[in-house]
Structure formats: structure tokens, C-alpha cells
Amino acid sequence: MTAPMRQLFALQMPRALFLLICAVFLAGCSSEISDEELAQQNVVRGYTQTSSGHNVSYIQKGKHTGRRIIFVHGTPGSADGWLDTMAAAPADYDLIAIDRPGFGKTEPRGAVTSLMIQAASIEPLLKTTNGQKPILVGHSLGGPIVAAAAVLYQDRIEGLVIAAGALDPELEKTHPMQYVGAVPPIRWLLPRSIRNANSELMALKGELEELEQQLNSLSLPIEIVHGTQDDLVPYENVAFMEGHFENAQRLQIDKLDGVNHFLPWNSADRLWMAIERLDKADPLSTSQP
């Protein structure tokens, strides 16, 4: 499904119903971009392994000697969702977007609902280059995953950009249709990405409650970018993050008035401003209102 189509269906629509509509479109076609198409955009696909032996697929672009920027998608999704953001990148960065466990070409095929296990899939890619530690960028459910990665590997990460991040457990609700989609035979009929996304969302509240207890341990700089018209992950998540990232070295909020959930497609410029603030350690006064 294209980004404009996602935006159209997301307007004023409950997240569970949005996922089911996505399923109708995904059932008849594959959204994966071939390696040949990636090569036309100067993007290559690579693989690494977690400590548990699972393969993690990623796409890579840019200057391998530059600071590494690691992009983590939401649910459903894949590394390909970051291509627009990667195309807008300034020079001299080493750009990597992963397929999360359960999505794209990354193992396992089934759902991995643990935020900490999802975060561990990033660990093999946490490469320091020329003394520069990587910056992690997480969109939607990728937001709590990069926060969990920082809990696990804080000393190996320069900072976080949380884009439309779903971190407040009190804002997570399970729609009755999600229970329908979780049982056979309906579950068997859903595409893998929707099936796994539903499992992740149903488990997310409990996972966020566990993560909440550890967020005050984060002392690295954090950038939050969130749209006020986000109907999938409400802007109220920002207040939760402000209250729980109290020990961050620096916490910057970039409030996008009138913007919806799909920041990697409609607000790549603001994401890059946040990344560059972390890269250059710019003072808060340089940020946009």
C-alpha cells in the first residue's frame, strides 16, 4: 500500500480497523521492493545475525565511514518504509533501516511481541565509526523499541529520535475486531504482516508497562517529533515521554501542528533536523517551534 493510501485510510479511523483495511490490500499484492529496485536508488540489502542466531535483514545507503543512523519501522511495516527519509538524507551519513523480527525478510516468520527481543535485533548493527556512536530513529511502535534498545545498550548509542512514538500504556486500547483477527480461521487468512502486527498491538500495553519502569534510566539526548493530528498514536504520548525521560541529557520536543502519523513520508525534513541536532549537539535554541 502506498503512503498516500495509508494516509487516506488513517484519517479519523481506529487503528484496529485501519489494520483490517490494510489486510484487504496486502492480501492481493506484495509491498516488498526487489533488490534490483533498491539498487536503482543506490540502496543495498544486507543481513546480520542476532545472538540467538536469527537473521536480520536491513537496507543500507550512504557513506560507510560516516555516523550510522539506524531506522526502526512501526507495525505493520518494513525497512522499505524509510526509503523516502533515506533519500532526503544529507551527505556523509551511513544509513541503515532494518526489517524488524516478524516483518520483511527478517526471522522469525511469526510475531515477536517482546520489546526487548525486538530491541536486541538492533544490537549487531550498533557500530561506532571514527568515534561516532549511532543514532536510532524509531517511528510509531519503533519508538518504544529504540527506547528499549537504549535501556539495553545506552553506552553504545549517541541519541534517540522518537517519531510519533507509542509509549504511554494507558493510551493503548484493544479493539474487539482485534480479538476476531487473532483466532483461527480468520488469523490464518490474514497476511503475515497484519497477523504479526495484530499480535504486537494486543501485547503492547503490557510491554509498555514493563518498559515504563526503566525509562528514567536513560541519560542520553532524546528528540521527540510528533504531529498534533495523529489519529493512530495520539499526541498525548508526548506528555508521557516528557514525564518519564526526566533524566535525559537533553529532551527536545518538535510539535508538528496539523500533521498526522506518517512522518517518514510527510515530514522527513523535520526528522533530519532532529537527527542533525543530535549529530552536531546543537543547543535547544536551534530547534523549530
To the question of pTM greater than 0.85 for the whole model, the response is yes
Task: For residue 108, say if its preceding peptide bond is cis, omega within 30 degrees of 0.
Answer: yes
Spell out the domain ranges in the chain.
3-29+44-281
Quote the radius of gyration of the chain (alpha carbons, Å).
Answer: 18
- Tell me what pLDDT residue 183 has: 85
The predicted pLDDT at position 16 comes to 53
CB neighbours (10 Å) of residue 221?
20
Give yes or no for a cis peptide into 191 (omega within 30° of 0). no
d(CA 84, CA 229): 21
The CATH class, in words, for 3-29+44-281 is alpha beta
Q: How far apart are CA 184 and CA 190, in angstroms?
A: 10
Q: What is the pLDDT along the chain (289 residues), one digit of tens a residue?
A: 444 334 433 333 455 555 555 544 444 434 578 888 999 999 999 999 998 889 999 999 999 999 999 999 999 999 999 999 999 999 899 999 999 999 999 999 999 999 999 999 999 999 999 999 999 999 999 999 999 999 999 999 999 999 999 999 999 987 777 878 788 888 888 889 999 999 999 999 999 999 999 999 999 999 999 999 999 999 999 999 999 999 999 999 999 999 999 999 999 999 999 999 999 985 443 333 3
